[in-house]
Amino acid sequence: MSARSTTTSAFQADVLQNDLPVLVDFWAPWCPPCRAVGPVLDELAQEQAGKVEVIKVNVDENPELAQQYGVTSIPAFRVFNNGDVVGSFLGAMPKKAFEDRLAPYLGAAARN
């Protein structure tokens, strides 16, 4: 399982009503750091399947979502839990950094 994409119309169901914590990647295809972090996010989505969902939002195709969540630079990431933004960070980073930032939302078993 890899990161999946969503749109403005599906965002509520895919992210806000998701039972799992959701890492949302605001990205664009013309952004080299966004493309560089894509495989890392796919790997994370696969390894954390059932614990966290990784969802991508193309800011060119869904500018209203980027505006709503204050995205002014990409790649930008928001962590949602129970429909609320509980974390926010910016820029490409190694997988371990993503894991560390998601750990508080994954439960004790995921941190071991």
Residue of 2, 5, 20, 31 marked active site: 31
Condensed to tens digits (0 to 9), the pLDDT of residues 13-67 reads 999 999 999 999 999 999 999 999 999 999 999 999 999 999 999 999 999 999 9
Alpha carbon 83 to its chain's center? 13
Inter-residue contact 16 to 28 (CB < 8 Å): no
Please state the domain count of the chain: 1
pLDDT number for residue 7: 96
Name the active-site residue from 34, 44, 55, 76. 34
Residue 31 annotated as catalytic: yes
pLDDT confidence of 109, banded at 50, 70, 90? very low
* Total-model pTM: 0.92
Q: Is 45 a catalytic residue?
A: no
Q: Specify the long-range contacts of residues 64-69, CB closer than 8 Å, at least 24 apart.
A: 64/8, 65/8, 65/11, 65/26, 66/26, 69/24, 69/26
- Could you list the residue range(s) of the whole structural domain that residue 48 is in? 4-111
Which pLDDT band, with edges at 50, 70 and 90, does 1 fall under?
low
CATH of the domain at 66: 3.40.30.10
Confidence of residue 111 (pLDDT cuts 50, 70, 90): very low
Residue 110 confidence (pLDDT) above 70:
no
